[in-house]
Amino acid sequence: MQSRVQLTHSIENLSLNELIWLLQHIVKVIQQKVGKTEQTTNHVTETALLSEPALAEDWNKPEEDEAWSHLQ
């Protein structure tokens, strides 16, 4: 909890220009993090879509339907 108090105190002592710089930096870091998350999600989605036809060869066998029938 003390680190939160220290952070709050430090922010309160910033000049307007320093506060603007800090906020711009925080926004930039968040945007980069979100961008990386979106890239990872897009890669996973693309991989899944590209894999589906190959996996469907096994999924669409009667043996698979029988093996999973207890879950329906």
Which of 40, 20, 17 minimizes the C-alpha distance to 28? 20
pLDDT tens-digit readout, 7-60: 888 888 888 888 888 888 888 888 788 777 777 777 777 877 788 888 888 778
Domain total of the chain: 1
Q: Looking at the predicted structure, is the pLDDT value of residue 1 above 70? A: no
Residue 68 pLDDT: 84
Report the alpha-carbon distance of residue 17 to residue 25 in Å, rounded: 12
The residue range of the domain holding 45 is 2-71
Residue 66 pLDDT: 87
pTM score, whole prediction: 0.45
C-alpha distances out from residue 40 to 12, 27, 32, 46, 54, Å: 37, 20, 12, 10, 22
